[in-house]
Amino acid sequence: MTTSRLRQATSAVVVIDLQDRLVRSLQSTAQRARLDQALALRLIATRLAVPVLVTELDPRAFGPVLPALAGETSVSRTTLSAAPEITQWLTDSGRTQVALAGAELHVAVLQTALDLREAGLDVVVVLDATACRRTLDAELAVQRLAVAGVPPTTVETVAFEWGDDTRTPAFQDLLRQRR
């Protein structure tokens, strides 16, 4: 399946592993800004009635999800790829496209994206909402994603693909939020 334009009616957002101990390991201001973008993506999705799923990797080892995500539907796991849990959730919600955000790009986000793509789902990685501690790891992860057919995108691109009609209140809300 080729990744086409994201549609509000068929998309979902998955925020991967924004947990206390993992987030603390992301020291740079740039990486923290990417986490803020992941929270912004979640907010946009919620406003546009796009389902959001939050994953957490072994909360005993990595701590709970960030308080800002505590009210979202969530799944816990012990494997680095969250694809099995996400695939079931997407099937249950009737969604075929997924936008991934979270941490870390070269580990859980990469493995999840590759597995979802292999399962035939339409997957994008929202790069400005995805953090990674080391630049080289991020660069190589992006290359692997591209080779696998998982395109990069940004929060703003996703938002305007979902809210594409200027006459709708959703579009006006997006304009106000993104200024």
| Alpha-carbon span 59 to 76, nearest angstrom | 7
Q: Report whether pLDDT(75) > 80.
A: yes
Q: Are 179 and 157 in contact (CB under 8 A)?
A: no
Q: What is the pLDDT of residues 142-162, one digit of tens each?
A: 999 999 999 999 999 999 899
Domains of the chain: 11-178 (3.40.50.850)
Q: Are 171 and 164 in contact (CB under 8 A)?
A: yes
The helix/strand/coil state of 56 is: strand
The tokens describing 130, both together, are 């995805």
Q: What is the pLDDT of residues 120-135, one digit of tens each?
A: 999 999 999 999 989 9
The tokens describing 131, both together, are 């953090």
The tokens describing 83, both together, are 């694809």
Q: Report whether pLDDT(178) > 80.
A: no
Predicted TM-score (pTM) of the model is: 0.92
Instruction: Calculate the CA 159 to chain-centre distance.
Output: 13
Q: Report whether pLDDT(168) > 60.
A: yes
Instruction: Calculate the CA 172 to chain-centre distance.
Output: 23
